[in-house]
Amino acid sequence: MKIILKSKSSHSHYYNVTFDFSDGKVRILCDCPHGDWKRVCRHRLAMINGDKSILFDKKQADQLDAVLKALRQPGFDGELISYYKRLQLIEKQKSKRDDLVRQVNYDFGQKLNEGISVAVN
C-alpha cells in the first residue's frame, strides 16, 4: 500500500510525503531537499507526529489518520522513541558543553583581569 500526502513547504508549493507499506516495512520518503539527501525533514516528522497543520490539502486529514494508525506499532514507535531519546541526550550534552565553555571563558577572563606572569625584557 502506498499513500502520498502533500506537505506544506516554506514556499507556496508543496512536497510529497510518501508512505510505502510493503514487505513488512514502511518507507517514508519526502521529495524536499532534505528528503532527497536522505535526511530527516520537518515534513516527515510533522506527519509521523500527527501534525495536521503541515498538510497542504486539508482533505487528506483522514488519510493521515489512516497512516498514523498503521504506524502505531511497537517497531515503529520504538524507533521514534529512540530517535527522540537520542536527541534529548545530545541536548543535555550540548547544555553541559555550553556550561563548560562558559566556565573556561570565565576562568580565562579572570586570569586576564588578574594578570598572567610573563618575562618582561
Please report, for residues 42, 61, 110, the alpha-carbon distance to residue 68 in angstroms, rounded to integers and kept in the order given: 16, 10, 55
For residues 34 and 46, is the Cβ–Cβ distance under 8 A? no
For residue 102, give its domain range.
73-113
C-alpha cell at 74: 511497537
- Do 25 and 61 have their domain in common? yes
Count up the domains in the chain and report the number: 2
Global model pTM greater than 0.85? no
Residue 55: pLDDT band by 50, 70, 90 thresholds? very high
CA–CA distance, 99 with 115 (Å, rounded to integer) = 24
**C-alpha distance across the termini of the chain, in Å:** 81
58/8 same-domain check: yes
DSSP codes, 35-82:
HHTT---HHHHHHHTT-GGGBSSGGGHHHHHHHHHHH-SHHHHHHHHH
Would you say residue 121 has pLDDT above 80?
no
For residues 16 and 30, membership in a common domain is answered with yes
SS3 percent helix, strand, coil of the chain, rounded to 5, is: 55, 20, 25
Instruction: For residues 63-77, give the mean pLDDT.
Output: 93
- The answer to whether position 37 is within a domain reads yes
**Cα 54 from Cα 118, distance rounded (Å):** 61
- Using pLDDT thresholds of 50, 70 and 90, give the confidence band for residue 116: confident
Average pLDDT, the chain: 92
